[in-house]
Amino acid sequence: MRFISRSGAMTAAVGAGLSLAVLPTGAAGAAEDIRVGCNDIPGLVDAINQANANGGRITLASRCTYTLTTPDNPDDGLPEITGDVTISGNGSTIRRDPDATESFRIFHVVSGGTLTLKSLTVTGGLSSDSGGGALNEQGTLNLNDTVFKENSAVTGGGVSNNGGQLNLERTIVERNTASSFGGGVLNNGNGTTTMKRGSLLRNRAVTSNGGGFENQVGTATLESVSVRGNTAIEGGGIRNVNGSTVNLKSTILKENIAVRGAGLSNLSTTFGNATATLVDSLVTRNTAITAGGGIDNQAGQVTLTNTRVINNEPDNCAPEGSVPGCTNPTTTSSSSTIDPPTTQGLQSDDDIKDPK
């Protein structure tokens, strides 16, 4: 069922003759509002194609599961996003059928496209390339009150942002898997990612790095985010590499696991110096097999402001002295001159719930 809002007209009679005066009350060609019935996949495909052409707002049935059994194109479960498309989920789920024989991600935003998802769960995507749940290639992807969980890909298990703009607001990225790097989110190709008031939970980079978040040649800002329980070879919670910049504010890195750099791995290479800034944040109870339980800073720059790095194993920061203001209790006093971080506005782990 569709409903369309159109501009009206006013008719006036002047004198004995009949004349028409048309007074526009809205923009011509207003975007169509499209409602899609529960699990109506052909209707959803048609709605996305219409929204791509004209811009549009798509509303899904409340708390329904939309199951994709076959891909729309060789790599994607739904049509590529080329226009300005908004999908309001009303607490619904879009998933790849667990019994589907073909591999495909759920969403793909291409250059010039904009996709906004609201109150929606995206799950089960499986890509042999990048972005199990969604791939954003030089477009804009906005995730509001959304959950990406149990998606898989070679890189960017949950979401991959390649040279585009990725915005996550009150969004959970949980239990996604990359066979290589970027278990939860991959930001690369000079992409920009901003994440506010959400969480990266229990994601995994199986054979490589960046369990929760991999930042390669990009800029990332995380504010009031919980990064917890992620695993990787390097950078269990976050890895920042190749001249990238990551800014953390009022953010917790906790209980992440890696061979090296369990909470944060900050690595400079021939591609440039990696820079990490942590403000009003906490890095605690992360575990590395070799070194850098809290932070592993290899030739990069890490700045702590009103931030504590405490109670990590086997140490808080490595190499020793590479992070000003971070001390290791095995060699020096565990007391710090840095005041405890301000956590106003930061979600506690108990407060993080599925926004559905």
CA–CA separation, 207 and 334 (whole Å)? 33
Q: What is the largest CA-CA distance in the chain?
A: 99
Pick left, alpha or beta for residue 261 (phi over 0 → left; psi -120 to 50 → alpha; otherwise beta). left
Q: Where are the beta strands (DSSP E) in 19-139?
A: 32-36, 56-60, 65-68, 84-96, 107-109, 114-123, 134-137
For residue 221, how many C-alpha atoms fall within 13 Å in the half-sphere facing its CB? 7
CA–CA separation, 125 and 112 (whole Å)? 23
Instruction: Determine how many CB atoms are found less than 10 A away from the CB of residue 190.
Output: 15
- Collapsed DSSP state (helix, strand, coil) of residue 248: strand
CA–CA separation, 5 and 203 (whole Å)? 43
At 30 the pLDDT is: 53
Do 209 and 236 form a contact (C-beta atoms < 8 A)? no
The CATH code for residues 45-343 is 2.160.20.10
Residue 353 identity (one-letter amino acid):
K
Using the 8-state DSSP alphabet, how is residue 293 labeled? S
What is the residue-wise DSSP string for 110-175?
-TT-EEEEEEEEEE--B-SSB-SSEEEESSEEEEES-EEES-EESB-SSEEEESSEEEEES-EEES
**pLDDT one-digit tens code per residue, 312-348:** 999 999 999 999 999 998 544 333 333 433 334 444 4
CA–CA separation, 320 and 58 (whole Å)? 53
Domain definitions of the chain by residue range? 45-343
CA–CA separation, 166 and 139 (whole Å)? 8
Per residue of the chain (356 residues), what is the pLDDT tens digit? Answer: 443 333 333 333 333 343 333 333 334 445 679 999 999 999 999 999 999 999 989 999 999 999 999 999 999 999 999 999 999 999 999 999 999 999 999 999 999 999 999 999 999 999 999 999 999 999 999 999 999 999 999 999 999 999 999 999 999 999 999 999 999 999 999 999 999 999 999 999 999 999 999 999 999 999 999 999 999 999 999 999 999 999 999 999 999 999 999 999 999 987 889 999 999 999 999 999 999 999 999 999 999 999 999 999 999 999 999 999 999 985 443 333 334 333 344 444 444 343 33
